[in-house]
């Protein structure tokens, strides 16, 4: 395993394990607490969780278009969407099941990626329909950075609701 792929696998492990911790905590909230407007970019805990899953599936769909990968063949992917606010699942239990399934796909995808794929260029249209092209590693890093950004927002929202997420540091999950 190349050093770049090793790093990507570390990000996938962090994603999987932190999401498990987060969803376990959020499962203890009432539906009204999860969906309460709290002033975050996507409003509520539920809407933010939905957005992260939507964005992950959009990126996985872009990777599936760029590369023929076994890990993405049977995965739930998003190729078309009307808004980055699209709600995939109104029901939290279904959202949780789908999040766990996508995290498994991300883990397999990270393990399947090669350093050559990461170094190669990929093309896709962004959410505004603009054609983008850059090395694949940039897109992969963005996918993981995007998750972390919005999970940071979630830790604040959960704190506002009186819940401590605990340790959020990457090194606590991969070492």
Q: pLDDT digit string (tens) for 135-173?
A: 999 999 999 999 999 999 999 999 999 999 999 999 988
Work out whether the CA dihedral 44, 49, 55, 61 comes out positive or negative: negative
Reply yes or no on whether the pLDDT at 126 is more than 90.
no
Reply yes or no on whether the pLDDT at 94 is more than 80.
yes
Reply yes or no on whether the pLDDT at 1 is more than 80.
no
Q: Which two tokens stand for residue 57?
A: 């599936």
Residue 79 — φ and ψ, nearest 5°?
-100, -30
Q: How far is Cα of residue 142 from the mean position of the Cα atoms in its chain?
A: 10
What is the 8-class DSSP label of residue 128? T
Q: Please state, in angstroms and rounded to a whole number, the distance separating the CA atoms of residues 171 and 6.
A: 14
Q: What is the mean pLDDT of residues 111-137?
A: 92
pLDDT tens digits, 24-56: 999 999 999 999 999 999 999 999 999 999 999
Radius of gyration over alpha carbons of the chain, in Å?
A: 16
Q: Please state, in angstroms and rounded to a whole number, the distance separating the CA atoms of residues 5 and 63.
A: 15
As a whole-number percent, the residues of the chain with pLDDT over 90 amount to 83
Strand partners, 135: 121
Reply yes or no on whether the pLDDT at 11 is more than 70.
yes
Average pLDDT over all residues of the chain: 93
Reply yes or no on whether the pLDDT at 93 is more than 70.
yes
Strand partners, 40: 43
CATH topology of domain 3-174: 1.20.120
Do residues 139 and 63 make contact, with C-beta atoms less than 8 angstroms apart? yes
The count of residues in the chain is 175
């Amino acid at each position: 395993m190349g050093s770049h792929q090793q790093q990507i696998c570390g990000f996938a492990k962090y994603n999987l394990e932190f999401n498990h911790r987060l969803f376990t905590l959020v499962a203890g909230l009432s539906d009204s607490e999860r969906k309460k407007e709290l002033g975050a970019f996507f409003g509520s805990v539920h809407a933010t969780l939905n957005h992260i899953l939507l964005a992950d599936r959009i990126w996985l769909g872009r990777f599936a278009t760029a590369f023929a990968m076994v890990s993405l063949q049977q995965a739930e992917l998003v190729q078309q969407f009307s808004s980055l606010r699209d709600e995939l699942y109104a029901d939290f239990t279904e959202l949780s099941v789908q999040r766990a399934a996508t995290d498994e796909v991300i883990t397999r995808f990270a393990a399947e990626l090669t350093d050559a794929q990461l170094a190669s260029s990929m093309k896709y249209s962004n959410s505004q329909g603009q054609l983008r092209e850059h090395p694949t590693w940039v897109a992969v890093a963005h996918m993981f950075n995007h998750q972390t950004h919005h999970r940071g927002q979630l830790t604040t929202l959960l704190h506002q609701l009186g819940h401590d997420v605990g340790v959020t540091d990457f090194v606590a999950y991969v070492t």
